[in-house]
């Protein structure tokens, strides 16, 4: 009988995994039940699943995850209320059915105010409907996901949301959730949040919101990392920087890609060299050493999957097999599992 992750780290943070509905029974469910006390939906709580066409809400899959979590006494992270991706095109169509934005340009500048009102209304209706249904049952909301792109001139991603509403969509979303579900925790979630330039854009955005009386409780660090980047030092500094602002931190989508370039490829798990998995185990150990050390400032650590048989990293960006987690394709504990169980 191997130790349970959630028990090993119970004094420090909650342990979570991203799940699809077919993981809620069978062997995946056993791993989930034993090792994790928190879940997040890998896909079914995104806008395209919940409201595929305007006004038609599809709650069945999200409901099933909440029911499972409640039956098993697990926390739920809600991912995600507002995002530029996996959001249906109808959100961004104007009153006559034309796209508001084409190739990054506003199509009808003369209609900007009207389109802004329409888009904000749709965003609000979506957020209010979801929060009304699930309030009181969510530990942490990913209110807004991935709005920073430090390669853009002012740091904000030039999404339809941003081009049409500026930062209003971000502020409104946080205000609505704060008002409707006051006891839950509100997160801004992003990837590369440990990278200094991006970290600082996120920091400035959140400081601006806090100064305007908008409640933000924490930063969700996706932490999709690889064997080399980012450095442990960057990861530590980012957590400490937000903690110094009085914010909580969560690691929301953890995986460690075994590839450090876009060309190397192994076709199956068996072909992945043992040395790479050892390097991954060392990396996991360094990471969890920092997480534990900063446990007062990190309330949840969630993997973006359960075991190596299912990961969004497979075949990304080229056909190849990945092995990002601490359980292998047969759901057995890897060297990476033992390396985080046995911290110095």
Binding of ligand XIL by 43 (CB under 6 A): yes
- Secondary structure in 3-state letters for the chain: CCCCHHHHCCCCCEEEEEECHHHCCHHHHHHHHHHCCEEEECCCCCHHHHCCECCECCCHHHHHHHHHHHHHCCEEEECCCECCCCCCHHHHECCCCCECEECCEECCHHHHHHHHHHHHHHHHHHHHHHHHHHCCCCCEEEEEECCECCCCCCCECCCHHHHHHCCHHHHHHHHHHHHHCCCCEEEEEECCCCCHHHHHHHHHHHHHHHHCCCCCCEEEECCEEECCCCCHHHHHHHHHHHHHCCCEEEEEEEEEECCCCCCCCCCCHHHCCHHHHHHHHHHHHHHHHHHHHCHHHEEEEEECCCCCCCCCCCCCCCCCCCCCCCECCCCCECHHHHHHHCCC
Q: Pick from 241, 246, 230: which is nearest to 283 by CA?
A: 230
Question: Is residue 29 involved in binding ligand XIL (CB under 6 A)?
Answer: no
Residue 202: which residues within 8 A CB-CB, separation 6 or more?
148, 188, 190, 193, 219
**Residue 79 in contact with residue 62, Cβ under 8 Å?**
no
Shortest distance, CB of residue 82 to ligand XIL, whole angstroms?
12
Question: How many residues line the site for ligand XIL (CB under 6 A)?
Answer: 7
Among 145, 159, 192, 322, binds ligand XIL (CB under 6 A): 145
Q: Does 312 bind ligand XIL (CB under 6 A)?
A: yes
Closest residue to ligand XIL in the complex (CB): 312
140 binds ligand XIL (CB under 6 A): no
| Least CB distance to ligand XIL at residue 127 (A) | 17
Is 193 or 222 the residue whose CB approaches ligand XIL more closely? 222
Nearer to ligand XIL, 223 or 336 (CB): 223
Q: Between 160 and 253, whose beta carbon lies closer to ligand XIL?
A: 253
Q: How far is the CB of 17 from ligand XIL (least distance, A)?
A: 12
CB of 7 to ligand XIL, least distance (A): 27
Question: Nearer Cβ to ligand XIL, position 51 or 339?
Answer: 51
Residue 42 found at the interface with ligand XIL (CB under 6 A): yes
Please give the Cα distance from 250 to 142 (Å, whole number): 11
Selected binder of ligand XIL within 184, 192, 222, 300 (CB under 6 A): 222
Name which of 305, 145, 52 is nearest 61 in CA terms.
52
Q: Which is nearer to ligand XIL, 29 or 43 (CB)?
A: 43
**Residue 81 Cβ vs ligand XIL, minimum distance, rounded to whole Å:** 12
Q: How far is the CB of 37 from ligand XIL (least distance, A)?
A: 21
Site for ligand XIL in 72-131 (CB under 6 A): none
Residue 193 near ligand XIL by CB under 6 A: no
Q: How far is the CB of 312 from ligand XIL (least distance, A)?
A: 3
Catalytic residues: 253
Binding mask 238-267 for ligand XIL (x = CB under 6 A): ---------------x--------------
Nearest CB to ligand XIL, comparing residues 12 and 312? 312
Closer by beta carbon to ligand XIL, 18 or else 209:
18
Q: Which of residues 162-191 bind ligand XIL (CB under 6 A)?
A: 191
Q: Interface residues with ligand XIL (CB under 6 A)?
A: 42-43, 145, 191, 222, 253, 312
């Amino acid at each position: 009988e191997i130790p349970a992750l959630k028990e090993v780290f119970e004094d420090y943070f909650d342990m979570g995994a991203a799940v699809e509905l077919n993981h809620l029974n069978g062997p995946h469910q056993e791993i989930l039940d034993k090792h994790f006390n928190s879940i997040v939906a890998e896909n079914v709580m995104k806008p395209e699943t919940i409201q595929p066409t305007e006004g038609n809400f599809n709650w069945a899959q999200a409901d099933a995850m909440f029911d499972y979590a409640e039956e098993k006494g697990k926390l739920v992270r809600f991912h995600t209320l507002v995002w530029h991706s996996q959001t249906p095109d109808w959100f961004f169509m104007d009153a006559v059915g034309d796209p508001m934005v084409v190739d990054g340009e506003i199509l009808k500048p003369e209609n900007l105010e009207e389109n802004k009102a329409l888009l904000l209304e749709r965003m609000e209706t979506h957020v209010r409907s979801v929060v009304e249904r699930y309030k009181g049952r969510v530990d942490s909301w990913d209110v807004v996901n991935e709005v920073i792109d430090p390669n853009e001139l002012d740091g904000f991603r030039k999404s339809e949301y941003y081009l049409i509403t500026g930062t209003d969509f971000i502020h409104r979303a946080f205000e609505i959730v704060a008002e409707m579900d006051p006891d839950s925790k509100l997160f801004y979630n992003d990837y590369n949040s440990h990278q200094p330039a991006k970290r600082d854009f996120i920091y400035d955005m959140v400081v601006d919101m806090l100064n305007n009386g908008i409640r933000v409780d924490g930063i969700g660090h996706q932490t999709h990392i690889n064997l080399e980047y980012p450095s442990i030092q960057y990861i530590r500094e980012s957590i400490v920087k937000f903690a110094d602002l009085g914010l909580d931190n969560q690691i929301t989508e953890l995986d460690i890609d075994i590839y450090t370039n876009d060309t190397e490829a192994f076709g199956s798990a068996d072909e992945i060299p043992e040395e790479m998995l050892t390097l991954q185990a060392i990396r996991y150990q360094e990471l969890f050493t920092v997480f534990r050390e900063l446990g007062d400032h990190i309330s949840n650590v969630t993997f973006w999957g359960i075991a190596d048989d299912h990961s969004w990293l497979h075949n990304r960006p080229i056909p190849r097999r990945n092995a990002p987690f601490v359980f292998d394709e047969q759901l057995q504990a890897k060297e990476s599992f033992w390396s985080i169980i046995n911290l110095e």
